[in-house]
Amino acid sequence: MSIRRLSSVAAIAAALLATGCSRTSAEKAFAAGLAYAEQGSWQKAIDAYSEALQAKPDWIDAYVNRGVARAALGDHAGAIKDYDAALRLDPNDTDTLANRGLARHELGQYKEALSDYNAAIAADDTNADAYRNRALTYRALGDLAAAVEDCGAAIRLDPEEVELYRTRAAIHREQKDEDNAVVDDALAGMTAQIAAAPQNAVPRRQRGLAFFETGEYALALSDLSDAIRLAPEYPDTYVARAHAWFIQGQTDKAIEDYTAALDRRVGAVAEAYAGRGNAYESAGNVAKAVADYSEALRLDPEDDDTTMQLAWILATNSAQQQRDAKRALELATRAVALTDGRQWRGLDVMAAACAEAGNFADAVKYAERAVALAPEDQQEEVRGRLAMYRSGRPYRQEG
């Protein structure tokens, strides 16, 4: 729950109280309420806020804080009355909506609680408390998928809150989803380590990698950037951040990080070359992409993804000087072998290489096999290429 403060620290408020005449009676009572709340003296805090409201009956913050104090004593119905009073003065106050939602939740008024959380989030979608508390209400209502989604939203807003990961782990276990529960347990542990040792780059890097694996790329970038700031000499972190930059569409930053990793003699050197080649290709620098893919394959000839990527450029690029039918066919043949002829993309690349070499009969054969294995969202494009090969035309990748 959110407490409204006269100042940022209750101790300062107490000091202001001691100054005497420079404060109004309402302000002095409010400051006393803050000091009592800081000590956990909730009834004394309630009395002080009540005194403040007698002197200033339209003070929203005093109503909100008295509601929080009442809730702390288990008087959720009384807390709701105070939140109602505050919301009559400001119907769109997001903290108060979230607080009232929590009080309603405690009374089992789950639908009313959801209404408050929804209103709070509609007014301010950066309110982590509203997402956190709505997750608990969804959980109580049995909507576990919505609860997990709201936990994720709260984590994106407040990634340093350990309990958010633990709550989501518990919900995953209720869903019989042990794999994701284990991930959240690990994230909770890493977050606790970060809090205990904020200058240690290792847990930051580990959590950044975990965020990357779960698709939380913005959080991954934040953690990996902190890890690099704390330990700039560690090259593998640059590769990890480069991957995240690339997925986020920041190709220039990805290239910069891959290069930084290579300059620092990164251990995963083939991965760094392949990643930078991918970034160069996306940026339209095909010549540099070919050079990096080639170096990656020299270091790791078993990399089927990079084999397919380079073969595709050499078979389909719109610029004649970038195409090489013989080498494309060699690479495509290796790609099919590496994937046991069961991967649609390898078969698609093989078909393109055959077409570039003028062997349209084999191009059709491989394209037909690719169509049979391709996912639904790729069917149209693969069928389009198959039609070209049947008409004796090679495929050209524009751009």
With tokens 């984590």, the residue in question is 155
**What does the pLDDT look like over 201-230, one tens digit per residue?**
999 999 999 999 999 999 999 999 999 999
User: Where is pLDDT greater, at 382 or 6?
Assistant: 382
Whole-number Å distance between alpha carbons of 190 and 164: 13
SS3 call for 397: strand
For the chain, what is the HEC assignment? CCCCCCCCCHHHHHHHHHCCCCCCHHHHHHHHHHHHHHHCCHHHHHHHHHHHHHHCCCCHHHHHHHHHHHHHCCCHHHHHHHHHHHHHHCCCCHHHHHHHHHHHHHCCCHHHHHHHHHHHHHHCCCCHHHHHHHHHHHHHHCCHHHHHHHHHHHHHHCCCCHHHHHHHHHHHHHCCCHHHHHHHHHHHHHHHHHHHCCCCHHHHHHHHHHHHHCCCHHHHHHHHHHHHHHCCCCHHHHHHHHHHHHHCCCHHHHHHHHHHHHHCCCCCHHHHHHHHHHHHHHCCCHHHHHHHHHHHHHHCCCCHHHHHHHHHHHHHECCHHHCCHHHHHHHHHHHHHHCCCCCHHHHHHHHHHHHHCCCHHHHHHHHHHHHHHCCHHHHHHHHHHHHHHHCCCCCCECC
% of the chain exceeding 70 in pLDDT? 94
pLDDT reported for residue 15? 41
pLDDT reported for residue 20? 43
- Residue 14: pLDDT band with limits 50, 70, 90: very low
**What does the pLDDT look like over 280-329, one tens digit per residue?**
999 999 999 999 999 999 999 999 999 999 999 999 999 999 999 999 99
pLDDT reported for residue 7? 38
Mean pLDDT of 120-148: 95
Q: Is the pLDDT of residue 8 over 70?
A: no
Note whether 63 and 85 are within 8 A (CB): yes
Whole-number Å distance between alpha carbons of 154 and 358: 56
Angle between helices 304-316 and 344-356 (to 10 degrees): 30
pLDDT reported for residue 24? 83
Phi first, then psi: give them for residue 75, nearest 5 degrees: -90, 75
pLDDT reported for residue 92? 87
Q: How many CB atoms lie within 10 A of CB 326?
A: 11
Closest-CA residue to 365 (of 352, 380, 375, 379): 352
Virtual CA dihedral for 273, 278, 279, 281, nearest 10 degrees? 120
Give me the amino acid identity at 256: E
Range 301-399: architecture per CATH? Alpha Horseshoe (1.25)
Q: Which two tokens stand for residue 334?
A: 């290796």
pLDDT reported for residue 399? 57
Mean pLDDT over all residues of the chain?
A: 93
**What does the pLDDT look like over 22-66, one tens digit per residue?**
468 889 999 999 999 999 999 999 999 999 999 999 999 999 999
CATH 1.25.40.10 spans which residues of the chain?
10-288
pLDDT reported for residue 17? 46
Give me the amino acid identity at 312: W
57-94 core/surface letters (b: 16 or more CB in 10 A; e: else) = eebbbbbbbbbbbbbbeebbebbbbbbebbbeeeeebb
- Residue 1: pLDDT band with limits 50, 70, 90: low
**What does the pLDDT look like over 365-393, one tens digit per residue?**
999 999 999 999 999 999 999 999 999 99
Phi first, then psi: give them for residue 397, nearest 5 degrees: -85, 115
pLDDT reported for residue 18? 44
Closest-CA residue to 317 (of 396, 235, 212, 199): 396
**What does the pLDDT look like over 255-270, one tens digit per residue?**
999 999 999 999 999 9
Widest pairwise Cα distance in the chain = 96
pLDDT reported for residue 9? 40
Choose which CATH entry (1.10.3210.10, 1.25.40.10, 1.10.10.350, 2.40.50.1070) describes domain 10-288.
Answer: 1.25.40.10
Question: How crowded is the C-beta side of 156, counted as CA atoms within 13 Å?
Answer: 16
**What does the pLDDT look like over 149-181, one tens digit per residue?**
999 999 999 999 999 999 999 999 999 999 999
% of the chain exceeding 90 in pLDDT? 91
Whole-number Å distance between alpha carbons of 198 and 193: 8
